[in-house]
Amino acid sequence: MAHEDLWLSKRVAAGGWIGGSGSGDADALRLLPGARLGPYEILSLLGAGGMGEVYRARDVNLGRDVALKVLPQTFSANADRIARFEREARVLAALNHPHIAAIHGLETSGDMRALVLELVEGPTLEERLSVGPVPILEAIALARQIADALEAAHDKGIVHRDLKPANIKLTSDGAVKVLDFGLAKALEPAPPSGEGDSPTLTAMHTEAGVVLGTAAYMSPEQARGQAVDKRTDIWAFGCVLYEMLAGRTAFSGTTSSDIIAAILGREPDWTPLPHDAPSGLHRLLRRCLEKDARRRLRDIGDARIELDEASAPAAPGEPRASRVGRRPLVWIGSALALGILALVLFKVMLPEDVPQADVRIHQLTELAGLEEAPALSPDGKSVAFTAAVGSTRQIFVRLLAGGPPLQVTRDPATDHLYP
């Protein structure tokens, strides 16, 4: 038996797959190797839980292996739920992205229904994290691919709603495949009228295997039973990124209720994060894990940009975490340079018969941000310099006799002008 199958068999035997409850439904539906479901021959059981059973199967018509997710028997007894699931499945099948595991189709045999899914070889991120945290650059690369997958789904109006390490596969070539996109919504009962499209906390507690497997990655609004949107995925993304870097979950507890209480009432402990992680990662995590959805990062594409910046090569000999931290030193150095220039100008303009004892240093500029490239006018009565205005640099002129600096350029394209 392969290592992965052995590990999965142990999880199933212990009743721990996806927080499974050990109910009799899984045993009642279990298919033995060699059984057929339409054109699919069952090869082995991969996992079981409240969301159904997953089998490795062989498509005898196309000669390829697939994953079959056989839905719970209680699900198949509800005609409205089946119709709703089939509608959702057709939407999900339209997703075509290299980092999203594909849905190939639906298969029905009697009262048994199954999703035909792309079979992704390799461990889950959950298995990878069982041996410790992920190195920073590797974590950034994995998070970048997860963000790509989420962005593609969000662009089509699809929210994952159950993003977690167990739903993220890692292939042998380092690629990410996100599993079960949208299935949490497709498999849940239809919400009561006026309650939005999210299951209530009570409903999630009664759905065997759902809460125990996902509580640590639920957004505050999801835990409260409020309507959710793509910002719930952004929260879960932040939880996954935190866990990759810290080697532990952002919110923990001995029971699912304890975990939810931590999500609703406590901030993550930031101290386990690597001290040499780029400061942009810390900033990204705080924005993703903002409890108020209105203040949370609004678009996963922004996370992708932040990750690209964090993975950009640092200057030779410069620590990655110091790239932002060194900017105040640059500002201080520029301010000192302007102060020295003011002293030199004062001495040049001072008549020879004036005693030197009364020389004083005056700061010429007080603008916020970095001021640099000072230049004295030919008549010696003013000094020009550049200063940051938004994302560009503009030229300012100040009379040495006094008065505020005068901005002389305002073109947004003049970010490389110097006096």
Looking only at Cα atoms, what is the longest distance across the chain? 109
Which of these is catalytic: 162, 233, 258, 276?
A: 162
**Dist. CA 394–CA 79, nearest whole Å:** 67
Quick check: 170 and 176 in contact, CB under 8 A? yes
Tell me the CB-side half-sphere exposure of residue 339, using CA atoms within 13 A.
11
**Burial call 231-268: b when 16+ CB within 10 Å, e when fewer:** bbbbbbbbbbbbbbbbbebbbebeebeebbebbeeeeb
How many Å separate Cα 233 from the centre of its chain? 8
Return all residues near 199 (Cβ < 8 A) that are at least 6 apart: 188, 189, 191, 207, 225
Question: Contact at 8 Å (CB) between 269 and 247?
Answer: no
Q: In whole angstroms, what is the distance from residue 133 CA to residue 245 CA? A: 6
Which residue's entry shows tokens 């102060």? 339
Give the C-alpha separation, 153 to 162, whole Å. Answer: 13
Bridge partners, 48 (sequence order): 53
Strand order, beta sheet including 371-376: 371-376, 382-389, 392-399, 406-407
183 and 92 in contact (C-beta within 8 Å)? yes
* Contact of 170 with 142, CB cutoff 8 Å: yes
Active site residue 162: yes
DSSP 3-state of 100: strand
The token pair at 90 is: 């057709």
Exposed (0-12), middle (13-18) or buried (19+): which is 218, by Cβ within 10 Å?
A: buried
64-70 and 112-118 as β-strands: parallel, antiparallel, unpaired?
Answer: antiparallel
Among 298, 165, 151, 148, smallest CA distance to 236 is for 165
Nearest CA among 163, 166, 162 for reference residue 130 = 166
Known catalytic residues are 162
